[in-house]
Amino acid sequence: MAAQPAVSLGDFSTLFALAGRSTRLRSERLLNDFGLHVGQQFFMRCLWEQDGSTVGELARRVRVEAPTATQAVKRMEAAGMVRRTPDEQDARRSRVWLTPLGRHTWPLVTAALAELERDLLAPFTQEEREQFMSLLLRLYETSLPAEGDGADGSRTG
């Protein structure tokens, strides 16, 4: 049995960070089985919904800075999940497309992530799950960067 971290139930930041870290580790192992890294699933979801997006569009939708999105796209391109083509209206930009491998992989990834979610939420009743998701959404909305902050929380001017 794993050692229990010394956490006070009143220590929200620590408990939230520990839960996030353990969930991230499980997600990382799962995604690695598909040749992906944590965070890349958000870009793949965006492309599944709107293939041919620019890196800038992906960055805005995933709420990261453009260099972070560029790095993720490069890694997914190296893994064969996406390809880039020049934008027809602006040669300085490129469009990102899921490859056949990416299109094949995405439904498998979503099924595996859904299974992980079911496993993580199994100890809760349906009512508790709904309340938990509602509270998480409110926490997320509260934690978004303020006006004038970058997507990653850095000041932009």
Residue 147 lies in a domain: no
Total of domains in the chain: 1
Sheet holding 94-98, edge to edge: 53-54, 94-98, 82-86
Which of 42, 47, 138 shows the shortest CA–CA distance to 98? 47
Q: Find the domain containing 90 and state its range.
A: 23-136
Residue 11 lies in a domain: no
Residue 41 lies in a domain: yes
97 contacts 52 by C-beta, under 8 angstroms: yes
Residue 4 lies in a domain: no
Q: What is the CATH number of the domain that holds 59?
A: 1.10.10.10
Residue 81 lies in a domain: yes
82 contacts 99 by C-beta, under 8 angstroms: yes
| Digit-coded pLDDT (tens) for 36-86 | 999 999 999 999 999 999 999 999 999 999 999 999 999 999 999 999 999
pTM listed for this prediction: 0.80
Residue 60 lies in a domain: yes
pLDDT above 90 coverage of the chain, percent: 73
